[in-house]
Each structure stands twice: as C-alpha cells, then as structure tokens.
Amino acid sequence: MVYNSEKVIPYNSSEPKTKQVERMFNSIASSYDNLNGILSLGIDNFWRKDAIKKLTPYRPRQILDVATGTGDFAILAQQILSPDKITGIDISEKMIEVGRKKIEAKGLENSITLKQQDCREMNFPNDTFDAVTVAFGVRNFENINASFREIHRVLKPDGIFLFLELSTPQHFPMKQLYTIYSKFFIPFIGRLISSDKNAYNYLPQSISAFPQGKKMMAILEKNDFYILQYKTYTAGVCSLYIAQKRA
C-alpha cells in the first residue's frame, strides 16, 4: 500500500523520494537547526524532552536513532537516559557532518556514533537495539511499511519503537491558525533563511499528507507492533507514538 505522504516529494524530478529528501537535507544542513527553532517557536525542545523521558521505565542500553539529522534527539537521549550506546543514522551526509561537530563539542563521541544509512536497508544484525527512536522523520520515508519492518527486525524482542511527528490539528481554533501558519509563515521564513525554497514548501505538504492518529496506529499494528501510547502536544501540532515489538 502506498500512503499519501510517500507521494509528496521536495522536487519535481523523476528521482525516488529518498534521493530527493537526501538532496533537500544536504542543501539546508547548515541552516537547519536555526530554522527548526524559529519555525517551532522553540516548543520542539519540550516535545523532544518529554518524549525521551517516556523511555525511562524501559532503561534502554542500546538505542538506534533513525533520521537522526544533526543529532539533537540522540544527544538529548544520551543526556537524559545515559544508555551504553546510541547509534544515529540518516540519509544526509551533510546533516550528519553538522551532528558530528555538535557531538564532539559536547564530548559525547564515545557514546554517540552517526552513520549514513537508509532505514529501509540497515546493516545491523537482527535483535540489536533495546529502543529505536525517530524525531520528525517518518513523514520523509519513501516506504513506511518497509522502514517499519526493518525497525522491527533490528529491535530486540519486546523492544520499544518511539517516534515524534508533526501533525495537523483537528479542532477550532488551532486548526484554522495552523492552516495559516503552515501555508504562509513556514514557506516565508524558509525562503528568508534557506536558499532552498522547495524544502519549506515540502514541509507543510508532507505534514498534511501524513497518516496520523488511528491511521498511524493501524500501520504500526500491521507491522507487528503493539501500541503502548499515543498522545498529542500543543493542541495537536505534534504527535507521539510509542509501540512495542511483537516477538
């Protein structure tokens, strides 16, 4: 099955979505962190911290951070959970380069390793990680089912899959305010700060097309995950999914 978000692409080209997303993030890597903070008004830091704290009862020692980008989620996870090892993967080498510099500056290079990999075809053995996390990356997947199957494969039995994703508010007045924000503010700020205007036209389009709530939980269950928790933040602007691998 092809989901609508898999059809949304950054550029009008014949390249596969993964290649286009890789090109997009390579082009905005240097400005990504600043833009992210401006566009979320800094609220994303609260979302990330709260999500990571949800992993505390499970005490994961080996964590895989998929679509790690510049490593913010991995760094926070290390600081909050103190696992033995965090491995971050991303398709964008430029984003990883920025992330490595941040990790080195914080003296975390012995506990966090970043690698360029596609989550549809990871080179990790079966049953490797206690937890897999993704922060705002699932809507960029070219094939959600294939990626979820790989995540299921590399998780240990009863391992935890946690991800945050931007979502579309469903109730007045946030729904109407968010429509204005995503249609006008995001592309405008993106054009001011980034040289790649396509990236910030793609962002609101990918959010609106993403299967959220019950639809996403059904996709997780289809891929042999048991739903542990689903919650929304900031009146539905962000959603958190926590699932457990079915053995």
Q: Which two tokens stand for residue 33?
A: 């962190």
pLDDT at 201 over 80: yes
More reliable by pLDDT, 174 or 76: 76
Q: What is the largest CA-CA distance in the chain?
A: 48
pLDDT at 118 over 90: yes
Nearest-CA neighbor of 88 among 98, 96, 97, 80? 96
pLDDT at 194 over 90: no
More reliable by pLDDT, 92 or 180: 92
Q: Tell me the C-alpha distance between 174 and 235, whole Å.
A: 7
Q: What is the pLDDT of residues 136-192, one digit of tens each?
A: 999 999 999 999 999 999 999 999 999 999 999 988 888 898 888 888 788 787 777
Domain 4-245: which topology? Rossmann fold (3.40.50)
Q: Where are the domains of the chain?
A: 4-245
Do 165 and 238 touch, CB atoms closer than 8 A?
yes
Q: What is the pLDDT of residues 8-62, one digit of tens each?
A: 999 988 999 999 999 999 999 998 888 777 778 789 999 999 999 999 999 999 9
Q: Which two tokens stand for residue 238?
A: 């962000």
Q: Is the pTM of this model over 0.85?
A: yes
Q: What is the pLDDT of residues 215-246, one digit of tens each?
A: 999 999 999 999 999 999 999 999 999 999 99
Q: What angle do CA 70, 245, 43 make, to 5 degrees?
A: 35
Do 168 and 205 touch, CB atoms closer than 8 A?
no
CA-based radius of gyration for the chain:
17
Write down the pLDDT at residue 197.
77
Amino acid identity of residue 113, one-letter, is T
The whole-angstrom distance between residue 236's C-alpha and the CA centroid of its chain comes to 17
Q: Tell me the C-alpha distance between 207 and 175, whole Å.
A: 13
Secondary structure (DSSP) of 197-208: HHHHHHHHHHHH
Nearest-CA neighbor of 183 among 209, 210, 201? 201
